[in-house]
């Protein structure tokens, strides 16, 4: 069965098939709902995630439904971003599908968590950064993007490290304006300043707020035990991502300037997420929600333009089948 060829299409039937794949990818979460593990961001939640936890109570299914809806929204945003800028140079639903597949790679993460809402804010921030391309005068898009990253950090504090993308975006798209760097950093800080003000007004201890930030940034998150099948899929997906990066870099000089800069921004997003995972003790496999953004685009570009048809078809079909097997095994 030529699954990759099928999903490279843009007909309504493809949307229906993607919906079926998503249902299958989340079947273990709904059949066997779990409560979150006592990781850093659960035991000491950031303010906005704390509000969500209070609203959901101890209902595992409520958190799963919320996460499922957020992944659906992310899939739409991923497809919409490419449609608006057209940096892959093809209209395709593959970025959304590949993100859905990445969301099923770790079934133990398919529950309520702060990373998913934070990732939505990061995705919109990337869109705002790219909207500044060839804008005359000061681009306040960077303030907006900084605000979005700051708000997302009040769900998942490690999103704040992606504030580096603001400086990268200015270097890629602008003329090195110090004013824009200052404005963008002010945007990141504004949600924290407002939160501190609210804490002060309602009489909450600001010291606890600062301690929570420090613990969420540098506390030790316990590791997850991964099955052999999960490790096999991670290795395959990692190797394919490296191949996709090499494939892109060999062709990037032939792309339009805006497309080229968009891919560079995505590569920086991938680089930051990998560095955080490798070196920050508070970061664990939940980083897949963020890493999945650039990886989905890189893999989509590879699958759309690679001339060899058989091997990519086998790899894509194999990863899809293995992820569905992961879901089935996790139920039992």
pTM, to two decimals: 0.95
pLDDT for residue 1:
52
Average model confidence (pLDDT) for the chain? 92
Look at residue 176 in the predicted model and tell me its pLDDT: 66
Judge residue 138's burial from the number of C-beta atoms within 10 Å of its C-beta, 0-12 exposed, 13-18 middle, 19 or more buried: middle
Picking from 191, 305, 193, the residue whose alpha carbon sits closest to that of residue 251 is 305
> What is the C-alpha to C-alpha distance for residues 170 and 130, in angstroms, rounded to an integer?
10
3-state secondary structure of 165: helix
Structure tokens at 115: 């990373």
Tell me the C-alpha to C-alpha distance, in Å, between residue 86 and each of 52, 92, 93, 266: 35, 10, 12, 14
pLDDT at 244 over 90: yes
C-alpha separations of 282 from 150, 276, 287, 318 in Å:
18, 9, 10, 32
| Model confidence band, residue 138 (pLDDT cutoffs 50, 70, 90) | low
Given a cut of 90, whether residue 125 has pLDDT beyond it is yes
Residue 35's pLDDT band, with cuts at 50, 70 and 90, is confident
For 301-328, the pLDDT digits (tens) are 999 999 888 888 999 999 999 999 999 9
Torsion, Cα 170 278 217 68, to 10 degrees, reads: 80
**Residue-level pLDDT at 168:** 95
- What pLDDT digit, counting tens, does each position of 106-124 carry? 998 999 999 999 999 999 9
Locate all alpha helices (DSSP H) within 104-203, ordered by sequence. Answer: 115-130, 141-153, 164-173, 178-202
- pLDDT cut 70: percent of the chain above it: 99
Residue 75 has pLDDT above 60, yes or no: yes
* Band of residue 10 on the pLDDT scale cut at 50, 70, 90: confident
Angle at 121 between CA 301 and CA 123, to 5 degrees: 10
């Amino acid at each position: 069965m030529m699954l990759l060829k099928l999903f490279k299409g843009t007909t309504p039937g493809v949307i229906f098939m993607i919906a079926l794949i998503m249902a299958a990818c989340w079947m273990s979460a709904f059949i066997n709902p779990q409560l979150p593990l006592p990781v850093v961001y659960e035991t000491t939640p950031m303010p906005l995630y704390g509000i969500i936890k209070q609203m959901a109570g101890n209902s595992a299914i409520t958190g799963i439904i919320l996460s499922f809806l957020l992944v659906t929204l992310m899939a739409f945003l991923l497809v919409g971003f490419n449609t608006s800028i057209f940096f892959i140079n093809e209209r395709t639903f593959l970025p959304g599908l590949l993100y859905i597949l990445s969301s099923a790679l770790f079934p133990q993460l398919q529950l309520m968590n702060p990373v998913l809402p934070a990732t939505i804010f990061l995705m919109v921030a990337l869109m705002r950064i790219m909207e500044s391309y060839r804008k005359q005068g000061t681009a306040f898009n960077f303030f907006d993007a900084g605000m979005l990253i700051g708000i997302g950090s009040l769900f998942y504090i490690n999103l704040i490290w992606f504030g580096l993308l603001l400086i990268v975006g200015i270097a890629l798209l602008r003329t090195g304006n110090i004013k824009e760097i200052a404005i963008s950093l002010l945007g990141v800080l504004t949600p924290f300043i407002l939160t501190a003000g609210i804490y002060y007004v309602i009489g909450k201890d600001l010291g606890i707020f600062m301690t929570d930030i420090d613990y969420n940034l540098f506390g030790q998150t316990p590791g997850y035990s991964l099955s052999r099948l999960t490790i096999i899929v991670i290795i395959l997906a990692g190797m394919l991502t490296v191949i996709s990066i090499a494939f892109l870099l060999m062709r990037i000089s032939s792309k339009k300037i805006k497309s080229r800069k968009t891919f560079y921004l995505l590569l920086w997003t991938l680089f930051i997420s990998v560095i955080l995972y490798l070196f920050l003790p508070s970061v664990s496999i939940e980083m897949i929600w963020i890493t999945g953004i650039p990886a989905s685009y890189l893999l989509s570009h590879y699958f759309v333009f690679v001339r060899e048809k058989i091997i990519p078809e086998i790899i894509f079909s194999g990863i899809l089948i293995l992820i569905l097997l992961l879901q089935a095994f996790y139920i039992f």
